[in-house]
Every structure is written in structure tokens, then in C-alpha cells.
């Protein structure tokens, strides 16, 4: 399958992109917005198979991570940086008409882009395990923490009170929380793209979001779009898992507020439905895009 890699100049740095496959007939490309902030495109490579159906799939590492790594610039890690990067990438690659899939923070980026920039040429949007409100997200994470052992609850509460997020007891509790709701351990049987070393944008995550999933203290801490998402006109597919950081309540909140949206709940899945139920996920996405090309 044809793979093109390249870099786009951005803010004096460079943004890495990867294009798999090419569009045939009436099919429009799919642009993938990864999570974090500060994760990388790597995990999305489990979606390469979508290109086998005659559709270009466009991956990129947002500034601050992976092959677009930058650090020592905490002032960069705000939504404006990543909003404008997406705008510039579409111009750079001539992406006039696209489908857009945002996972976790990438879904927030998609929501903000749609609501605040009113872009043309968006055929459809997939909001995968994402959120309409940092406040609602933090509230739901804390609700799930209450189902953990008292020892883990106490360790997390102590770290939140003292601000010491290096305490070994807290780190162990947070690892257990993420194992429950984010993703399983990476093993030798995991897809290669998950096993591959990657340069995580720790500074981008901490400055942009916070020390963990349930304390949004960074530049996105007050991020609130529940009052805006009702204005989204594009077809929207919402996806999450029953055991996801994006809880059914968070997904339902988006479903209730976005007119005409569709919601698919993946039983038993955590934050990475596209890994844990890859075939089902790809089939769903493929049929959705076919419908809205």
C-alpha cells in the first residue's frame, strides 16, 4: 500500500504527516486527530486497513510530540496552536473535502475547530472517546475513582491535596486507574505500532491538560463546549466504550446535544475501542464514511 511521509513547516518548527493509500472514485480522505495532548499518531496505524478500500488516510503528529517533538516552550501548549496547525495542514495538503476522526483530546480539537472556525468541506465527523467539557470529564473520572480500593482512593486524594504527583503510591494507583479505563498493557502480542518506541510530549500534556486525566489544570482546564456543540451541522458519529475514560454519561451528553448524531457504545471496551474491537470499529467507520462521502 502506498505510504507518503513528509513535514509541514509550522511556527518555525515542523509537523510530521503520513498518508496511507489514495482516494478512488468519490471517496474522501480521512484525517485522524490523535489524543493527549502529546500522544502521537502511532496507535492510529491500526486503522491503516481503511485505506485498502480506496481511501487516503492522513495521520500527523501534532506539534509537541512524536516526529513533531518540541519542548521547552510551555506557552505553545494551548488549543490555538493545534487549531491553527490543523488549518495549515489542510491547506498544505490540499484537503478541500475530508472526513475527520478525533479521539480523546483529538475529539476536543475537532469540536473546537467545528464550533469556532466553521470550516468548509467537512463531510462527516467521528468523535471517538472524547468529551464536550473538561469539568464533566473530571467529574466522571472522580466518580470512577470511587470504585477503586480505599488505598488507591487515598493515594490519589493525597496527591491532589499536596500536589505531589511523584509519590509512588499515587503513581501505582494512577497506573491501576488507567489500566481499568484507558488501555491494557502493551505485550509482545500487541500491534507493532503500539510496541514501537515513541517520543511522548510530556510537557505538551502537563501544560495543555494537567498531571493526569482527572485534574485538568493546564490551558484546557476550563474547556467547555456543551453550550456550543448544538450548532454543529455536520453528520456526527459518537463512539465510546462501556469501561472508557469517556463514560457513557459523557458520550450521551454529546449525543443529546448534537442534532442528528449517531452513538455507538462498544461493550467491554476502554479508551481505545479501535484497538480492542478493531474489526468492528473499522467496519463501522467505513460504512459511516461511505454513507457521507
Cis-peptide into 63, omega within 30 deg: no
Active site residue 104: yes
Chain-centre distance of CA 102, in angstroms? 5
Active site residue 149: no
- Strands 262-266 and 98-103, bridge-based pairing: unpaired
Q: Extract the C-alpha cell encoding 252.
A: 450521551
* CA angle (113 as vertex; 219, 270 as ends), nearest 5: 70
Question: 266: closest CA among 123, 122, 128?
Answer: 128
Cα-atom radius of gyration of the chain, to the nearest Å? 18
Q: Which string of b and e fits 97-133 if b means at least 16 CB within 10 Å?
A: ebbbbbbbbbbbbbbbbbeeeeeeebbbbbbbbbbbb
* CA angle (190 as vertex; 197, 17 as ends), nearest 5: 50
Q: 61, 152, 243, 244: which one is catalytic?
A: 244
Q: 104, 124, 133, 219: which one is catalytic?
A: 104
Active site residue 271: yes
Cβ–Cβ under 8 Å, residues 286 and 53: yes
DSSP for 194-217 reads HHS-----HHHHHHHT-SSTT---
Active site residues: 104, 244, 271
Amino acid at each position: 500500500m502506498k505510504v507518503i511521509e513528509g513535514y509541514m513547516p509550522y511556527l518555525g518548527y515542523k509537523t510530521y504527516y503520513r498518508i496511507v493509500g489514495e482516494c478512488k472514485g468519490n471517496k474522501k480522505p480521512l484525517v485522524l486527530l490523535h489524543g493527549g495532548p502529546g500522544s502521537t499518531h502511532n496507535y492510529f496505524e491500526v486503522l491503516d486497513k481503511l485505506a485498502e478500500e480506496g481511501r487516503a488516510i492522513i495521520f500527523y503528529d501534532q506539534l509537541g510530540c512524536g516526529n513533531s517533538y518540541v519542548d521547552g516552550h510551555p506557552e505553545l501548549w494551548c488549543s490555538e496552536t493545534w487549531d491553527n496547525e490543523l488549518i495549515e495542514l489542510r491547506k498544505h495538503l490540499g484537503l478541500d473535502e475530508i472526513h475527520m476522526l478525533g479521539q480523546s483530546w483529538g475529539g476536543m480539537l475537532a469540536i473546537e475547530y467545528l464550533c469556532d472556525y466553521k470550516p468548509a468541506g467537512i463531510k462527516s465527523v467521528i468523535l471517538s472517546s472524547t468529551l464536550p467539557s473538561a469539568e464533566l470529564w473530571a467529574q466522571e473520572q472522580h466518580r470512577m475513582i470511587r470504585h477503586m480500593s480505599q488505598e488507591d482512593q487515598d493515594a490519589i486524594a493525597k496527591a491532589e491535596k499536596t500536589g505531589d504527583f511523584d509519590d509512588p503510591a499515587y503513581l501505582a494507583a494512577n497506573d491501576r486507574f488507567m489500566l481499568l479505563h484507558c488501555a491494557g498493557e502493551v505485550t509482545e502480542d500487541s500491534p507493532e505500532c503500539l510496541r514501537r518506541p515513541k517520543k511522548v510530549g510530556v510537557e505538551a500534556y502537563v501544560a495543555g491538560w494537567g498531571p493526569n486525566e482527572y485534574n485538568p489544570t493546564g490551558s484546557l482546564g476550563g474547556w467547555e463546549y456543551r453550550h456550543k456543540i448544538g450548532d454543529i451541522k455536520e453528520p456526527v458519529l459518537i463512539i465510546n466504550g462501556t469501561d472508557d475514560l469517556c463514560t457513557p454519561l459523557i458520550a450521551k451528553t454529546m449525543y443529546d446535544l448534537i442534532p442528528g448524531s449517531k452513538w455507538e457504545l462498544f461493550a467491554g471496551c476502554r479508551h481505545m475501542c479501535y484497538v480492542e474491537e478493531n474489526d468492528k470499529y473499522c467496519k463501522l467507520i467505513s460504512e459511516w464514511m461511505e454513507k457521507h462521502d
